[in-house]
Structure 1
């Protein structure tokens, strides 16, 4: 977490400001607050506004957030995704942003945290003497996990990815409740290169050696295969139906945040993306918009809308928004009820 500012109420220096340029007493001058207009991109993934675009870092009073500090893996992923889309190096046709590529970007479910950590993790796994690690009194064979972690699918959190649940479990054990910056990086955070640092975990670190073993032990204890598909482990229950959910925890640097927990003795999705939307504004017509209410439109298990948008979310489909009478009339789902 970034540092927290604490105000001393006994000191006049900590009084709320009385700025003549503010819109109301106690507020800051809007000109001192962070703002940025660019023609390439700006973005935010729950960090401060400092790195809305790395080409133009912002400065602002500390009360508005931190600057020149470690960005979350999710913020790094957002920036790199935007840069690759502009360069046309993300594997999708063409360059620049379109409604389609915006939807693809959000549901790519790539883990930024895995990029600087995976090679060192695999090296540590493969160099484990006799392929076994003693953790908490348990001798764990990790040899099966090494090739699974090495596969590219292990850090893509699409529903069909294999090994991703293993890597996510490993990452949770490696973090152990601490911030990413505290991990044993060989290249520490550098404010001059905030998108690519820190990187390169030290493969000789005891934590990097032990965390895969803890993950292997946990999955085997739960009866989950090490190469299980994400859809085998990450689901949400709707009316007794297990609906696979793609994405992963924010600490892994996945844009589409999804967090699982224990619900009634089983693992279920408990937090994450809720209302998501992409919008394209045009000069000669209404906005072009797609959205999803991921937890669906009704909390009533007996309602036909209890899972109506969770299922499309599961398979990467979106709902087309409609603004004009013509658009509404053209909807194949339109139902008209005349009230007398």
Structure 2
């Protein structure tokens, strides 16, 4: 439809663009509450003549509570910045009450004709239709299964292991004949002198084994012989480090996979490999995972944009000649053979006007 032939359409396009800009922050705030609590409380504000929806803002979901149902509908939504401090009375100075729309049965004509009434309404996206007032988020099974608690324990547990574990790398054994032969007066030494002498001998070996500068050095040990018979000498044994195999890493990966599965996000999008050998991290995995995910969240987008669809109806942007429908742009990944190299160029063409 050519806007030049329809001046009213040009005016409508301008109104829609201004409306979108005024309410550009709604989508982010509503999305956070949707995926965090699955309960979103948009507030719509009408113009003075009640003919236009001018503002849409997502109220803080944690601050909102439904009033008790009356005659099958919920009349109000109460808002309080801290419900733990609420005095259980409607006379609380911090308590606000906003009329709640029945989004299943409220028509724009009814709001336009409600003269003298409020201009602010809650347009709930999870309007209760049964006994329950609030919806459970789809990832709540993750909480009830215990995986979140288990995952939270892993960093603390591993930190405790690293903090308390004695990282012994070598077991050094000295033959009992070494000290008397090394120190002729060893047997007559006092206990403190013996201890000091023994520590000195061990320090010589330990200094060779430890430190980056000593990496690759050789260690020389002594052993005794008598009549062609060998006696045990210094013995150095490397202690197996149980932490080098990545203790708890498998458990950490499992928790991450559980979380992503519960939230509906394919682990391959983050480069993870579910299970053993279940993925090769190929581009096909990521492409199809993203395309599938974008398709699955379409109903979520429709729910979040519902106040905008209602506004188009209320504001007269839908009629016999045209329909205004709100939707979100999205990427769809394609295979390399679907996009020629010339189409992959992202740099501006110097022969083309940059303003075009």
TM-score above 0.5, yes or no = no
Q: Give 1 or 2 for the bigger CA radius of gyration.
A: 2
TM-score, normalised to structure 1's length?
A: 0.25
